[in-house]
Every structure is written in C-alpha cells, then in structure tokens.
Amino acid sequence: MGCFACFDGGSKQRRREEERLSSEEARARAAEAAQKRQEEFDKSAAGRAAKAQIAAIAKQNANTNKGEPALKWQMG
C-alpha cells in the first residue's frame, strides 16, 4: 500500500489546484456581482437618498466642536 502513495499525490495536488482556481473564479464573479449591485443601488432613489444623508451627516460633524473637546472637565 505504501508504494502507491506516490501515485495519489499527483491527483491530490491537481485537485487542490483546481479547487484554488475555481474558488478564485468564484471570488471574481462575486466581486463583479457586488460591484453591479452597488452601481444599481447608487442609481436608485434610495441610493441617492442615502448618499445625501451621509453627506449631510459629514457636513454636520465637520461643523461641530471646531477642535473643542466634547466634554469639558471642571475641577473644584
């Protein structure tokens, strides 16, 4: 039995390589699908509203505190 181990090693390595390639292809397809969904969302009314809301929050956060600490400690 031990002498046949060298014959099986090649198929294991080939199978690992095939699995690696197929998972790489699956990741690429998933990334393309995610990109497409993101583009469709950005074009939709909900996407535009979310983008406007994020911009409004960022603008509000930029105007608050002006470098002042949010909480001021007072001793005494």
Mean pLDDT by 10 residues, the chain (76 residues): 60 92 97 96 93 90 68 75
Q: What is the pLDDT of residue 2?
A: 53
- Taken as a whole, the chain contains a residue count of 76
Is pTM beyond 0.75 here?
no
Cβ neighbours around 41 below 10 Å, total: 13
Q: Which of 26, 7, 46 is nearest to 37 (CA)?
A: 46
Q: What is the pLDDT of residue 73?
A: 78
* Domain segments of the chain as ranges: 7-56
Q: What is the pLDDT of residue 67?
A: 66
